[in-house]
């Protein structure tokens, strides 16, 4: 363990950033999906400039780019640190009132603005490891937004450290803050040429020590069932009800597997997330997930077979089945450049941690960045209970993550 002479700023930063509402909106077609995300972008650009990062900019698509200049002559790879500015549409992010809990004592945390919202050690066993830490929560009416403003606070804290410590030698480091990660559009308008980095790390993970180099591979499937609509009073042997076919089809899906609620670890799932329609036409949207990309096609073939068999009992009905690729397991890329994970493991080690390689049951900006030229695993920030009013984060976890970033900068330049 190599200790750094650090005066951390993560807690103040997080508490400041979460008060800016940056909720993204999956139903918006604009870029970014909500204009208010730029409010945080502007604040971050001003803060980056204040710590001496002259080229910090917010572009029209809502991305923040900035450079920590190299302070070493030899040519070393360009490293990128990335975090997302938006918060989940699943829970309100307006008027967040962050609460600082000093020296957490291990008891359940009752949130003051709605005392039915309780962050309990039973539902959040990681809390038991955080006794003595300082925690930050919301107040009971909103999410906290540590996902991923903890990541932003960590990167800002590390950037400030590097700008203030010329004796710490590193190459060029690019900072990227993205909008709309929570709605799967975080890298839609990123300019990879402008970013100009060789590999990167997202700061968007949970427990201290976790290192995520593997994500789901993901497709979306949209199924449209077409029935035949007639006046119901004169419908005998004519009407074919698409809504009923949809019901029969969903009922025919496997019940003990294939569902998020019945799977864990390395098991994939086939998950209907939305249904709408009526007699004439009903649409069902699925998300398909597995860590092994080739399994997606098998799930999709089986799903279509079940649909075909169901629909065969309804003469006159027909269907459309459209598969759309969403993202792929970043491991396919990271296996080709193992040093990217190894640098991170070394940085954890120097920060006094043993890295635990974890696979994410989801995706990150890094899943897609990895496939467009920026191999990009995910580092912990301590954000927990995300997308909910029970969200919390340990200040000491964020501080550790910041130290990991500084060590990474040094390791890459060695």
Question: Using CB under 5 A as the criterion, which residues of the chain lie in contact with Zn ion when the complex forms?
Answer: 147-148, 204
- Nearer residue to Zn ion within complex by CB, 148 or 219: 148
State yes or no: is 391 an active-site residue.
Answer: no
Secondary structure class of 155 (helix, strand, coil): helix
φ/ψ (deg, to 5) at 19? -80, -5
H-helix segments, 351-382: 365-371
Q: Any idea what DSSP says for residue 188?
A: T
Cis peptide before 153 (omega within 30 of 0): no
In whole angstroms, how close is the CB of 379 to Zn ion at the nearest point? 12
In whole angstroms, how close is the CB of 136 to Zn ion at the nearest point? 16
- Of all residues in this chain, which one has the CB nearest to Zn ion in the complex? 148
CB 378 within 8 A of CB 202: yes
Which of 21, 47, 86, 391 is flagged as catalytic?
A: 86
H-helix segments, 29-78: 37-50
Q: Is 413 left (phi over 0), alpha (psi -120 to 50) or beta?
A: alpha
- Nearer residue to Zn ion within complex by CB, 37 or 241: 37
Which of 133, 147, 148, 181 is flagged as catalytic?
A: 181
State yes or no: is 86 an active-site residue.
Answer: yes
In whole angstroms, how close is the CB of 386 to Zn ion at the nearest point? 7
- Dihedral sign from CA coordinates of 92, 145, 152, 373: negative
In whole angstroms, how close is the CB of 84 to Zn ion at the nearest point? 6
- Nearer residue to Zn ion within complex by CB, 66 or 386: 386
In whole angstroms, how close is the CB of 151 to Zn ion at the nearest point? 7
Tokens of 192: 């990879």
In whole angstroms, how close is the CB of 87 to Zn ion at the nearest point? 9
- Nearer residue to Zn ion within complex by CB, 151 or 227: 151
From CA 201, how far away is CA 374, in angstroms rounded?
9
φ/ψ (deg, to 5) at 94? -95, 140
φ/ψ (deg, to 5) at 109? -105, 115
- Nearer residue to Zn ion within complex by CB, 258 or 380: 380
Integer CA distances (angstroms), 351 to 58, 123, 126, 130, 141, in order: 32, 29, 20, 18, 36
φ/ψ (deg, to 5) at 77? -60, 150
- Nearer residue to Zn ion within complex by CB, 21 or 148: 148
The catalytic residue positions are: 86, 181
């Amino acid at each position: 363990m190599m200790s750094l002479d650090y005066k951390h700023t993560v807690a103040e930063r997080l508490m400041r950033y979460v008060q800016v509402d940056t909720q993204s909106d999956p139903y918006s077609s604009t870029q970014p999906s909500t204009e208010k995300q730029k409010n945080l972008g502007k604040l971050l650009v001003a803060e980056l400039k204040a710590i001496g990062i002259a080229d910090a900019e917010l572009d029209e698509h809502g991305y923040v780019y900035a450079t920590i200049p190299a302070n070493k002559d030899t040519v070393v790879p360009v490293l990128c640190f990335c975090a997302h500015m938006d918060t989940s549409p699943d829970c309100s992010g307006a008027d967040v009132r962050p609460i600082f809990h000093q020296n957490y004592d291990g008891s359940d945390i009752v949130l003051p603005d709605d005392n039915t919202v309780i962050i309990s050690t039973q539902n959040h066993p990681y809390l038991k490891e955080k006794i003595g830490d300082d925690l930050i929560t919301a107040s009971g009416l909103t999410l906290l937004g540590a996902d991923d403003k903890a990541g932003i606070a960590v990167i800002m804290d590390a950037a400030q450290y590097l700008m203030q410590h010329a004796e710490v030698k590193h190459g060029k480091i690019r900072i990227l803050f993205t909008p709309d990660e929570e709605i799967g559009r975080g890298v839609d308008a990123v300019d990879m040429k402008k970013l100009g980095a060789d590999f990167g790390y997202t700061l968007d993970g949970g427990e201290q020590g976790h290192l995520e180099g593997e994500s789901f591979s993901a497709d979306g499937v949209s199924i449209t069932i077409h029935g035949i609509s007639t006046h119901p009073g004169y419908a005998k042997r004519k009407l074919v009800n698409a809504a009923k076919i949809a019901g029969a089809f969903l009922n025919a899906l496997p019940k003990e597997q294939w569902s998020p609620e019945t799977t864990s670890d390395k098991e994939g799932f086939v998950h209907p997330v939305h249904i709408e329609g009526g007699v004439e036409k009903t649409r069902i949207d699925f998300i398909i997930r597995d860590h092994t990309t080739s399994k997606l096609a098998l799930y999709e073939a089986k799903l279509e077979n079940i649909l075909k068999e169901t629909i065969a009992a309804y003469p006159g009905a027909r269907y459309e089945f459209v598969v759309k690729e969403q993202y792929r397991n970043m491991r396919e890329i990271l296996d080709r450049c193992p040093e990217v994970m190894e640098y991170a493991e070394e940085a954890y080690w120097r920060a006094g941690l043993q890295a635990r390689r974890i696979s994410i049951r989801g995706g990150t900006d890094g899943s897609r960045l990895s496939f467009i030229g920026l191999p990009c695993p995910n580092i912990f920030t301590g954000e927990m209970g995300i997308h909910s009013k029970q969200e919390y984060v340990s200040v000491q976890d964020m501080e550790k993550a910041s130290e990991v970033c500084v060590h990474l900068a040094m390791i890459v330049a060695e």
